[in-house]
Amino acid sequence: MMQRGPVPDPQPDALFGCLRAFGAQKIAATMPSDYANAGSGLYEESINDTKTMFNKDGKMDADGAKNVVKILDQYSTNVKDKGSTIDLSKTYTTEFVDKVPAE
């Protein structure tokens, strides 16, 4: 297997540090080219726009969950035009992440 770029340390602090430190162009360049099938510019833009959703503690906050539904409501064939009927109190939880022991 060929390596395209640096492999981040699998520890959460190192991973999130890499996400914050590397530019979208560098991250995109290390990913398989077929990930950018809509064009490299759009792929880099999407990476840049989504970097902020990764929290250091590994949790997605409630506003992030609302945003996911909003996006899926626009583009997902499974959710399109149904987002307003999704009750996040029944589908979103940090329960399992909260149970992971701190190191």
How is 34-53 classified by DSSP, letter by letter? GGGTT-HHHHHHHHHHHGGG
pLDDT-derived band at 49 (thresholds 50, 70, 90) equals confident
Q: Where are the alpha helices (DSSP H) in 51-102?
A: 62-75, 88-91, 95-98
pLDDT tens digits for 53-75? 667 777 888 888 888 888 888 88
CB neighbourhood size of 65 (10 A): 16
Taking phi over 0 as left and psi of -120 to 50 as alpha, with beta for the rest, 38 belongs to: alpha
pTM equals 0.49
Which pLDDT belongs to residue 85?
93
Taking phi over 0 as left and psi of -120 to 50 as alpha, with beta for the rest, 53 belongs to: alpha
